[in-house]
Amino acid sequence: MPAYAVIGGQWGDEGKGKVVDYLAESVQAVVRFGGGNNAGHTVVNSRGRFQLHLVPSGICWPEMDNIIGNGVVVDPDGLLAELADLSSRGIDTNRVLVSERAHVIMPYHVLLDSLEEKARGSEALGTTGRGIGPAYVDKASRGGIRVGDLLELEDLMPRLEQTLAFKNELMTKVYGGEPISLDDVLAKCRDWAEQLAPHVGPAEQTVQDLLARDNNILLEGAQGTLLDIDHGSYPYVTSSSPTIGGAITGLGLNPQSIAGVVGVYKAYCTRVGEGPMPSEIQGQVADELREKAQEYGTTTGRPRRIGWFDAVAGKYSRLVNGFTGMVLTRLDILDGSPSVKICVGYRADGRDLDRFPVNTSLLDRCQPIYEEFAGWDQPTAGATSLSQLPQNAINYVKRVEELVGCKVQIISTGPAREETILVEPVIH
């Protein structure tokens, strides 16, 4: 049986955690393939409310394999804290497996993230400060340390010593920061190795074996397409590939094994951090939506920027991922709005644009062209079937579907697992 991917269609925070928890009922494994603990996936079900950063969102299902693939950058302290918290709440974490090829976020990565952001001044990216960018930089420059290396500390020593000496030069001489002691880093590595060892293994082989034994698996995207290092609003992006290509390299997956790629979109838009967002809105409407939806970052607590649904960006995401279907989340947040808008085009420098521009300054100058729809008073919150939706909400969903260019398979009407409308099956 095949793999199905759940990918963010916007700037992250689309509600992928809830969707993965819901769909995981029909799979044997949930696998993260990219990003790190910059992600914040919220899962609400009969076992409680969980905020996950690295642990895949299938963790609440019994006997589920939850795998962290080679494309993920792992902060061991973050992962261990998350595992301990889940265990203390009665969740079995024994089947969490971390790829030995995944790169480690080292203490100097976290420090460099904040030093670099400070040095960027007014050009700061608004990173989550979790060391994600610097860890991926080291991966690409071949100076990274992998989870498997932690288990072979003696072999790692010379490389670690050299790397740390270089990072200390960089942190102190270029950025004016404080150095980190080798002894402290070594002590951490020893502790991580001991605690993580039972969870470390050949994740790509495990994924292949699961597929060969006819199991369905779910690929859990983190962040979103518009934050993708290649396809997003560069340079205001994360340092990984949250798009479907990242799932292949981030797991060592055979592309033929992917049977469906579901794009998750919020019924409006949010963005956290800097960078252009053509359909951003300010003022009372934005404030009300933010408060109603509690649009504050799960990882950093920062208020999220709010905008109307951006169908230009949405269509672009569909194209670069080849979405076979979409999930529309948080429809209930629009309940009671007198009217709702969809951005159907951009206008900049006196002309209309028919695609998502590559140039960030141009994207920044884009003015949204809106279609406006009558809102709905009858709530969609908690609805579990299409027949419970008011006609205006259905009209809205249909228009989103038409503009993005793929079928809405699931509508989410609340944070809990059961507050879901399954329009058509995603996993076969």
Among all residues, which ones are annotated catalytic?
Answer: 13, 41
51 vs 179: CA distance, rounded Å: 32
Residues 6+ apart with CB under 8 A from 228: 237, 238, 240, 241, 242, 243, 246, 320
| Residue pair 405/265 in contact by the 8 Å Cβ criterion | no
128 vs 36: CA distance, rounded Å: 11
Site residues for ligand IMP per CB under 6 A: 11-13, 38-40, 125-128, 130, 132-133, 222-223, 227, 238-239, 272-273
Q: Which residues pair with 374 in a beta bridge?
A: 339
Rounded to a whole number of angstroms, the minimum distance from the CB of residue 123 to ligand IMP is: 13
The three state secondary structure string of the chain is CCEEEEEECCCCCCCHHHHHHHHHHHCCEEEECCECCCCCEEEEECCEEEEECCCCCCCCCCCCEEEECCCEEECHHHHHHHHHHHHHCCCCCCCEEEECCCEECCHHHHHHHHHHHHHHHHHCCCCCCCCHHHHHHHHHCCCCCEHHHHCCHHHHHHHHHHHHHHHHHHHHHHCCCCCCCHHHHHHHHHHHHHHHHHHEECHHHHHHHHHHCCCCEEEECCCCHHHCCCCCCCCCCCCCCCCHHHHHHCCCCCHHHEEEEEEEEECCEEECCCCCCCCEECCHHHHHHHHHHCCECCCCCCECEEECEEHHHHHHHHHHHCCCEEEEECHHHHCCCCEEEEEEEEEECCEEECCCCCCHHHHHHCEEEEEEEECCCCCCCCCCCHHHCCHHHHHHHHHHHHHHCCCEEEEECCCECCCEEECCCCCC
Rounded to a whole number of angstroms, the minimum distance from the CB of residue 225 to ligand IMP is: 12
10: amino acid identity, one letter: Q
116 vs 420: CA distance, rounded Å: 42
